Each structure stands twice: as C-alpha cells, then as structure tokens.
Amino acid sequence: MVSLAVLAALSPCRATAEPYVLGYAGAAITQDKSLRTEVEVNGAPFVNGLAHDLNFDTTPVFGAKGGYFLDRRLLGGHVGAELDVFHFRPDVAEQQVRFTGLLAGVQGDVHTTIPATDIEVTALTVNLLYRLALASDATYPRGRLQPYLGVGGGAFIARLETTTTPFDVNRDISDTDVQPGLQALAGARWFLTRSLALFAEYKFLHTETFSFKFRETGTIGGVPVTETARDRADLTSHLFYGGLGFHW
C-alpha cells in the first residue's frame, strides 16, 4: 500500500478526508503480442519459437474502487488513494500467425494456425490520484466537475486455458500465473448530487511476462507420450469505462 503510505506522510492527523466507493464497466482493448511457446514430447523438443502478433479479443471489463481524497489542498487540487479491482478476458481466437523457430521438429519461418485460447485477468491494484475542483460553489465546495490523473500498480492474476496440439485426441489444459504490473489513468467526475457522481475513465496498463506451464499425457499415432509445454507473454491493454460513485 505505497500510495496510502505516501498520503499518510502528507497528511497531518487533523486533516479530514472524503471517502468514496464506485463501480464501473466498459471495454478492454489489448494490443497484439508475440507469444514464446515451448513444447516437448517425451523430453524431446517439438516446438520452440515465437508466434508473432497474436490478436486479442476486445472484451468487457468491470470493476470496483474504494478510496478517499484529502480535503487539504495541494497546488489547488486534492490528492487521494484508492484500491482498484477489475476483471477482463482478452481471449485469443483461432487464427493464422507467423511462427519462427522449431515447429513440429523442423526449424523455419512459416505461417501456421494456433488454437483458440481463453485468458482471464483479475487485477488487484492501488492508485495514487490528483484531482482538480472545477465549478465550485456553496453546494459543491469540492467542485461539481473533477478531472483527475493517477498512477498505480499491483498484482495481475492471469489464467490461460487452451488445448494440447500433437495428440491424437487433444485435451483441455490450463494454468494460472501472477505478475506485477503498472497502470496510468485519467478521468473526470460530474456530481449529480453532493454524494452521487457519474465518471468516465481511461486506463493504460502493462504487465510483466506471464509464464504458463502444462504437462499432459496422451497418444500420438497410438503411442503413449507426455507433452510438457510453456507459454510466455506480457499484456498491454487500454481500458475505457464509466460508472457511478458514492462520496461521503
């Protein structure tokens, strides 16, 4: 909770705060990424290379926040901190990609089809915020319009589900990994009443590289084999959403 510690250091004990909670929903757009994939069959390399420029689905995002702003002004605005939890699914549809490296035991630079892959991401993050108080009056002393900026980071929990590839009958496989990530955001709030506010926000996020590992048994040409696989990629996403908040 680095952001909360910074606020505590900035704020004297007598300072008052403006707590809030809110919920939101919108769309998550994830940039194309290259996927490093490695597959061994009975310990022998079968695939080891890079699938270039995978395209991710644009999917819904939904989340919730809870935080507060200090009433004491800093450079004409207010600083605040919030806990921000959200979820989205940047799935990968079956698609043709350029693959460089070892594929089916042969080195090359080819186009191949990758299977559909389900990915879901849950983020537990903390943001440090700075907002301006615009359109202030006696009814809205903190400003009826509040544009703001923020930076933050936290833990991103990703789960990947796909299918085995070389088996006679392919099987579903899955794994979960947790990596740190950073984010930056910008938005604005418009107060409908002294306590209720509509808001719209944009968030940019980037994670460290996720690593998903799989081990499954099956048959190839009727011969029993064991497949060991590892997929690695980071995520860069743009989130656009809005919602409703309650301020005390």
- pTM of the full predicted structure? 0.87
The per-residue pLDDT for 44 is: 87
pLDDT tens digits, one per residue of 204-221: 999 999 999 988 888 877
Query: Which residues lie closer than 8 Å to 43 by C-beta, 6 or more apart?
Result: 228
The per-residue pLDDT for 173 is: 84
Burial of 242 (0-12, 13-18, 19+ CB in 10 A): middle
The mean per-residue pLDDT over the stretch 15-44 comes to 92
pLDDT above 60 (res 34): yes
Query: Which residues lie closer than 8 Å to 193 by C-beta, 6 or more apart?
Result: none
The per-residue pLDDT for 68 is: 95
Query: DSSP secondary structure string, 92-139?
Result: B-SEEEEEEEEETTEEEEEEEEE--BEEEEEEEEEEEEEEE-BS--SS
The per-residue pLDDT for 62 is: 97
pLDDT tens digits, one per residue of 164-180: 676 777 778 889 999 99
Burial of 192 (0-12, 13-18, 19+ CB in 10 A): exposed
The per-residue pLDDT for 125 is: 98
- What span, in angstroms and rounded, lies between the C-alpha atoms of 175 and 191? 43
pLDDT above 90 (res 88): yes
The mean per-residue pLDDT over the stretch 21-48 comes to 93
Q: Which residue has the tokens 């979820």?
A: 87
pLDDT above 80 (res 230): yes
Task: Place 74 in a pLDDT band, splitting at 50, 70 and 90.
Answer: confident
Task: Place 101 in a pLDDT band, splitting at 50, 70 and 90.
Answer: very high
Q: Which domains does the chain have, with CATH numbers?
A: 2-247 (2.40.160.20)
The mean per-residue pLDDT over the stretch 134-161 comes to 95
- What span, in angstroms and rounded, lies between the C-alpha atoms of 136 and 116? 52
Q: Which residue has the tokens 């644009």?
A: 58
pLDDT above 60 (res 59): yes
The per-residue pLDDT for 5 is: 44
pLDDT above 80 (res 37): yes
Nearest-CA neighbor of 237 among 119, 139, 148?
A: 119
The per-residue pLDDT for 10 is: 41
> How far is C-alpha 192 from the geometric centre of its chain's CA atoms?
30
pLDDT above 50 (res 116): yes
Burial of 129 (0-12, 13-18, 19+ CB in 10 A): buried
| Torsion sign (Cα): 102, 103, 108, 113 | negative
